[in-house]
């Protein structure tokens, strides 16, 4: 038997076929990001506006779901306080893999202007974040751009990779 | 019983002080929120149910407490103004205005007439934005999705007007202490006139969709009945109080700004229920349109000064700062050190879209307020839930929360 024989079914699978399948799968995932309604403060109003008539989030396949079990994407819109921090972690853990997080607005990114005793200084201290969206409050277009960036990122990823735990800051 | 969680030593444990439920009967305790799509923010309600009927309700607030009143004590007055945007974030101008008016009363200055006209315009436009948002979310909670989309469509046009004026959609900071920073841009008045000419027809459309809608009436009529005594006892204000038949509007009772010159009515309804309050909100939007219509000719015949002249507290106009040395020095001192109001305390109440919004400021003569307290209407409307919800069915909870128009930015501050 030749030494250089490739065993397609054992050593890492069929490369050509699976990259294409990856792409199709990730394309599908990126175009049906169902978001968990996680409106915490002012940014929630802009999040609602981007779901409403003028900005129309449905074009991106993004539909807001009330249950974490049905959601792929968590848009943390607003200030996270220490009193609420436990619940965001619990809801994040309840979401099914694969899952992504957009941190919307300055408060969710870094605590923003609220550097006080009550505020968590960035939601990335509690849950891992994929996209940070600056602004106070970001416009609906900006949120849609963030979703488009996330879609690009998802399309680059491999669909069958072993899910590594994401990094907390 | 609390179980020790040794495997997660850093896990945050929720703790609920002052919440005791005696369960010696067949009731069920359920938790509503703090992350509920219909909770209008971060309201947590602990409901004790007998079947589907509520026997006890405890609102638990504080999930959006950001320490704004404490922040104010470490900020100069002008610095704190953008923070007020984030209180009632649906109607930011009314917060800016309430704070600015309180500081102006403390300083003993008055905004020039054109600034007053622009402020009143922004206030009323913001009232329309707020009421449209209220109708949109309330209808969405009750199940009328199309109203949500229609209301947001009209709201976006009003937001465009706000954006044309101050550059921000949500957090305006368009009212400053002593006046407004900018005059209206060219063509703004015409756009406003176009918008308010169009809006009454849109309001009619909403009413056409909702007024006789069987589901809407079933969900709202005789739900959330607040008798007048109850409204007074719990400190309700704004549309919630007027919905109980008490004609109380601070714009009429203690007129501020131009409201004593303007001709408008205060709609009142005696039905005390959610449906009556819905009719009231629609009527209030019409009154706002009426006010805006009167303001347009007033603007045209006013003088162009937009900032009060008080060199001790307010920076000079930009031209003076750029040309005169003394104005520049004064501006520098005011920006770096802040204005120093005289010693004293002041409480000023204004009629925000949600009710009586009051700012209490205690000044010790320094550049920072010694104490700043906000009397937010939603806080009082949340406390009424513990009496109002009892006896209702669980499906009505969402209607009542939506109808009271509570916003958590200003409850928790």
Parent domain of B302: 68-412
Please name which of B178, B158, B147 lies closest in space to residue B92, comparing C-alpha atoms: B158
Position B23 in a domain:
no
Q: In which band, very low, low, confident or very high, does the pLDDT at B141 lie, cut at 50, 70 and 90?
A: confident
Chain B residue numbers touching A116 (CB-CB < 8 A): 66-67, 70-71
Rounded (5°) CA angle A26-A31-A36: 105
Q: What is the CATH number of the domain that holds B228?
A: 1.10.645.10
The predicted structure's pLDDT at residue B38: 73
Chain A residue numbers touching B13 (CB-CB < 8 A): 86
Chain B residue numbers touching A45 (CB-CB < 8 A): 89-90, 133, 170
Chain B residue numbers touching A44 (CB-CB < 8 A): 41
What span, in angstroms and rounded, lies between the C-alpha atoms of B331 and B342? Answer: 19
The residue among A141 and A168 whose pLDDT is bigger is A141
| Model confidence at B4: pLDDT above 70 | no
How far CA A154 is from CA of A20, A33, A157, B373, in Å, comes to 14, 10, 5, 47
pTM of the model: 0.86
Which candidate from A54, A89, A136 shows the least CB-CB separation from B153?
A54
Measured between CB atoms, does A91 come within 8 Å of chain B? yes
Position B175 in a domain:
yes
| Model confidence at B187: pLDDT above 50 | yes
Position B244 in a domain:
yes
Measured between CB atoms, does B338 come within 8 Å of chain A? no
Which candidate from B11, B67, B148 shows the least CB-CB separation from A52?
B148
CB contact under 8 A, B152 and A41: no
CB contact under 8 A, B64 and A84: yes
Evaluate whether B283 touches B289 at the Cβ level (below 8 Å): no
CB contact under 8 A, B170 and A83: no
How far CA B394 is from CA of B23, B50, B113, B281, in Å, comes to 19, 10, 50, 25
CB contact under 8 A, B63 and A83: yes
Which candidate from A81, A86, A139 shows the least CB-CB separation from B66?
A81
Mean pLDDT of A11-17: 58
| Model confidence at A19: pLDDT above 70 | no
Q: Report how many Cβ contacts below 8 Å link chain A to chain B.
A: 101
Position B59 in a domain:
no
Measured between CB atoms, does B62 come within 8 Å of chain A? yes
Please name which of B87, B91, B113, B98 lies closest in space to residue B158, comparing C-alpha atoms: B91
What span, in angstroms and rounded, lies between the C-alpha atoms of B307 and B75? Answer: 22
Question: In this structure, what token pair is assigned to residue B333?
Answer: 């001192």
Mean pLDDT of B267-283: 90
How far CA B56 is from CA of B60, B158, B393, B410, in Å, comes to 13, 40, 12, 25
Question: In this structure, what token pair is assigned to residue B123?
Answer: 């206030």
Q: Which residues contact A145 (CB under 8 A, 6 or more apart)?
A: none
CB contact under 8 A, A42 and B67: no
CB contact under 8 A, A42 and B137: no
Per the prediction, chain B carries an average pLDDT of: 87
Mean pLDDT of A126-132: 90
Position B50 in a domain:
no
Position B123 in a domain:
yes
Position B37 in a domain:
no
Measured between CB atoms, does A119 come within 8 Å of chain B? yes
pLDDT one-digit tens code per residue, B318-374: 888 889 888 898 889 888 888 889 999 999 999 999 989 999 999 998 889 999 999
Q: In which band, very low, low, confident or very high, does the pLDDT at A11 lie, cut at 50, 70 and 90?
A: low
Predicted-complex ipTM score: 0.81
Please name which of B208, B212, B240 lies closest in space to residue B224, comparing C-alpha atoms: B240
Measured between CB atoms, does B156 come within 8 Å of chain A? yes
The predicted structure's pLDDT at residue A153: 87
Rounded (5°) CA angle B7-B8-B13: 135
Q: How many domains does chain B have?
A: 1
| Model confidence at B109: pLDDT above 70 | yes
Mean pLDDT of A15-40: 79
Distance from the first to the final alpha carbon of chain A: 52
Mean pLDDT of B120-135: 92
Position B346 in a domain:
yes
CB contact under 8 A, B67 and A118: yes
| Model confidence at B316: pLDDT above 70 | yes
pLDDT one-digit tens code per residue, B59-98: 888 888 988 898 999 889 998 999 998 888 888 999 999 9
Mean pLDDT of A46-60: 88
The predicted structure's pLDDT at residue B1: 47
* Nearest residue of chain A to residue B411 (CA atoms): A41
Q: For tokens 């957090």, what's the residue?
A: B171
Q: What percent of chain B has pLDDT over 90?
A: 26
């Amino acid at each position: 038997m030749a030494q250089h024989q490739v065993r397609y079914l054992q050593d890492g699978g069929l490369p050509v076929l699976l990259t294409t399948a990856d792409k199709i799968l990730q394309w599908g995932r990126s175009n049906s990001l169902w978001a968990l309604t996680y409106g915490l403060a002012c940014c929630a109003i802009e999040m609602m506006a981007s779901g409403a008539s003028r900005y129309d989030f449905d074009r991106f396949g993004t539909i807001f779901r009330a249950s974490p079990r049905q959601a792929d994407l968590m848009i943390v819109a607003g200030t996270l306080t220490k009193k609420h921090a436990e619940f965001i972690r619990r809801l994040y853990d309840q979401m099914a893999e694969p899952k992504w997080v957009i941190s919307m607005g300055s408060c969710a990114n870094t605590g923003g202007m609220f550097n006080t005793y009550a505020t968590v200084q960035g939601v990335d201290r509690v849950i891992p974040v994929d996209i940070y969206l600056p602004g106070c409050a970001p416009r609906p277009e900006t949120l849609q751009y963030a979703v488009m960036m996330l879609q690009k990122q998802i399309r680059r990823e491999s669909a069958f990779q072993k899910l590594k735990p994401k990094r907390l800051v | 019983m609390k179980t020790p969680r040794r495997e997660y030593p850093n896990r945050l444990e929720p703790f609920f002080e002052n919440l005791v439920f005696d369960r010696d009967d067949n009731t069920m305790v359920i938790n509503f929120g703090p992350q509920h799509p219909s909770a209008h923010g971060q309201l947590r309600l602990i409901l004790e149910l007998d079947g589907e009927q509520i026997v006890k309700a405890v609102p638990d607030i504080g999930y959006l407490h950001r320490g704004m009143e404490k922040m104010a004590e470490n900020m100069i007055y002008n610095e704190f103004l953008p923070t007020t945007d984030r209180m009632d974030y649906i109607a930011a101008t009314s917060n800016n205005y309430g704070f600015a008016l309180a500081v102006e009363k403390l300083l003993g200055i008055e905004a020039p007439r054109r600034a007053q006209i622009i402020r009143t315009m922004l206030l009323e436009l913001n009232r329309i934005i707020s009421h449209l948002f209220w109708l949109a979310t309330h209808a969405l909670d009750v199940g009328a999705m199309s109203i949500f989309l229609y209301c947001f469509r009209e709201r976006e046009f009003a937001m465009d007007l706000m954006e044309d004026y101050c550059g921000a959609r949500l957090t305006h900071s368009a009212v400053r202490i002593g006046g407004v920073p900018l005059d209206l841009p060219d063509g703004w008045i015409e756009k406003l006139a176009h918008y308010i000419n169009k809006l009454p027809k849109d309001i009619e459309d909403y009413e056409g969709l909702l007024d006789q809608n069987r589901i809407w009436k079933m969900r709202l009529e005789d739900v959330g009945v607040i008798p007048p005594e109850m409204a007074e006892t719990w400190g309700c204000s704004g549309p919630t109080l007027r919905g109980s038949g008490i004609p109380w509007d601070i714009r009429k009772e203690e007129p501020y700004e131009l409201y004593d010159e303007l001709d408008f009515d205060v709609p009142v309804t005696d039905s005390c229920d959610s449906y009556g309050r819905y009719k009231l909100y629609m009527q209030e939007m019409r009154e706002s349109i009426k006010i805006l219509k009167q303001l347009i000719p007033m603007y045209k015949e006013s003088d162009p000064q937009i900032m009060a002249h008080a060199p001790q507290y307010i920076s000079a106009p930009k031209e003076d700062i750029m040309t005169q040395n003394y104005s520049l020095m004064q501006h520098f001192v005011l920006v770096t050190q802040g204005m120093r109001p005289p010693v004293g305390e002041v409480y000023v109440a204004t009629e925000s879209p949600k009710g009586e919004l009051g700012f209490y400021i205690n000044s010790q003569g320094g550049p920072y307020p010694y104490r700043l307290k906000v009397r937010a209407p939603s806080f009082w409307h949340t406390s009424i839930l513990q009496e109002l919800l009892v006896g209702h069915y669980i499906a009505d909870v969402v209607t009542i929360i939506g109808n009271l128009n509570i916003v958590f930015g200003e409850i928790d501050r």
